[in-house]
Amino acid sequence: MLSRNFPSSQVIAIPNSVDEKLVRDNQLSREQARQDLGIPADAKRVVGTIGRMRPVKGHKYFLEAMRDMEAPPYVAVIGDGELLDEMRAAARESNLSHRLIFAGGRKNAYRYMAAFDAFVMPSLREGLPIAMLEAIASGVPAFGTPVGGIPEILKNRKWVFPKEDPEALRQILIHIANATDEQLEETRQSQQKIFRDNFSIDQYRSRFRSLMEGTVQHSD
């Protein structure tokens, strides 16, 4: 709207939101989610992501980042798309198919967040990603590239890494693999506060209510 010369005083941005209670109430059990995705139930650390298997999602960088790692964490990618078979073949050729699992699509994929210890989104482009909001609403700490609306969610620079950078992604995976439970919990709590202050369903409804009542505050 601003690019079409609407004055900022007449433009209101209401960001996407996620219903935290709905997301949490419909989670599969950790054991069930991991079993369905082909992840060992006793895996120490599991990284997950959700997104269509398209180049813009940057899934190939998991392959490049993990190729030279001694003991990479398990990574599960949920999503269908044009690159699914190619990525599965590449993981097999790199002897990573036991650690890098391209699980294909799942209906209501957010229900599988319980399988993950962290959520990583290596996208080249994004809007404001609902999957990342669903991860945080589920209590899963998130990391991602600083593209599109991701920096609005991941406000701490420790949670972001450059796009198209396998080494930077590798460092994030190493951090997740080696972080203490307390460190991941600190990240989780910080991100949930940001979520509840900005992206909760209550905030979404409140903003719409203010808009309809004419009491919304315009930014300069």
pLDDT in tens, 26-63: 999 999 999 999 998 889 999 999 999 999 999 999 99
State mean pLDDT over 2-7.
Answer: 55
Name the nearest CA neighbour of 45 among 25, 24, 66: 66
What average pLDDT is seen over the chain?
89
The confidence score (pLDDT) of residue 18 equals 80
Whether 152 has a pLDDT exceeding 80, the answer reads: yes
Measured between alpha carbons, how far is 171 from 210 in angstroms, rounded to an integer?
43
Measured between alpha carbons, how far is 61 from 188 in angstroms, rounded to an integer?
24
Write out the two tokens for 194. 């940001």
> What percent of the chain is modeled with pLDDT above 70?
83
Measured between alpha carbons, how far is 133 from 153 in angstroms, rounded to an integer?
8
Q: How confident is residue 2, by pLDDT bands cut at 50, 70 and 90? A: very low
CA–CA distance from 132 to each of 89, 116, 129, 136, 155 (Å)?
27, 12, 6, 6, 13
pLDDT in tens, 158-185: 999 999 999 999 999 999 999 999 999 9
In the chain, the domains with their CATH numbers are: 18-198 (3.40.50.2000)
Dihedral of alpha carbons 113, 118, 121, 126, sign:
positive
The confidence score (pLDDT) of residue 19 equals 85
Dihedral of alpha carbons 49, 39, 189, 186, sign:
negative
pTM: 0.87
